[in-house]
Amino acid sequence: MAMVWKTWVRWAGPASVVIWLVALAVFGARLPFYDQMRHPVSLLGATGVPGAGSFNALGFVLPGLLAALAALGLVLRMPATASRPLRVAGQMLLLAGLAFAAMGVFPLDAQDIENRASQAHASVWLLWLVAFCAGAAMLRVGAARDAAWRPVATLAVACAVWMLCSAFVFGSVMPVAMAQRLAFLGWALWLALLARLAPR
């Protein structure tokens, strides 16, 4: 049973990435008007868009829960003597996964991006970004006292900086939809390499 659990946790991050990429490609291809270069990812799950419910389940909820499972695996690897920054980091990274899943629970309203539904979606998107970046920063602080955590902490900080630049800087020189995807890809890189770099 323990081996099965370890296998699930180990592959949760990469599985999250693959499922998200496949959902984005498949559901995007199904909509004649959808352009990956111009339209935000959230539009695929927006209220009233054909297949929105399925995309929200496969493009946000399932990948987010798998990401949370990967973060939980990271928390469980921490020794009983782990510093407070490391423990807080694990909790924030877990929260980031749950916030990503929540984007599918609170879908965008394409007809009115200012209403409460759209604001709720934007709020959980921001929570996802802030939680991950805070978790990455705390992980780096905690890793200063434990060399075994430095590789995964360095990766987390690099991905967090990339995500922040994608969210708040790159949009000024490229379509916002592309900048958003770059932010998501930064998180995807973290999930793909997490199990490989985390202490055993």
pTM: 0.94
Q: In the chain, how many domains are there? A: 1
The string of DSSP codes covering 4-46 is HHHHHHHHHHHHHHHHHHHHHHHHHHH-TT--TTTS-GGGGGS
Query: What are the two backbone dihedrals, phi and then psi, of residue 95, each rounded to the nearest 5 degrees?
Result: -60, -35
The one-digit pLDDT tens for each residue of the chain (200 residues) are: 566 667 778 899 999 999 999 999 999 999 999 999 899 999 999 998 999 999 999 999 999 999 999 999 999 888 888 899 999 999 999 999 999 999 999 999 888 777 898 899 999 999 999 999 999 999 999 998 888 999 999 999 999 999 999 999 998 899 999 999 999 999 999 999 998 888 87
Q: Say what the pLDDT of residue 55 is.
A: 98
112 Cβ contact list (under 8 Å, min separation 6): 118
DSSP E strands, the chain: none
DSSP class of residue 79 equals -
Q: Say what the pLDDT of residue 193 is.
A: 95
CA 47 to chain centre: 22
CA separation for the pair 37, 179 (Å, rounded): 10
Q: Say what the pLDDT of residue 181 is.
A: 95
Give the pair of three-digit tokens for residue 57.
């389940």
Q: Say what the pLDDT of residue 4 is.
A: 67
- Please, are residues 100 and 128 in contact by the beta-carbon 8 Å criterion? yes
CA separation for the pair 195, 113 (Å, rounded): 37
Q: Say what the pLDDT of residue 126 is.
A: 97
Q: Which domain holds residue 79?
A: 2-197
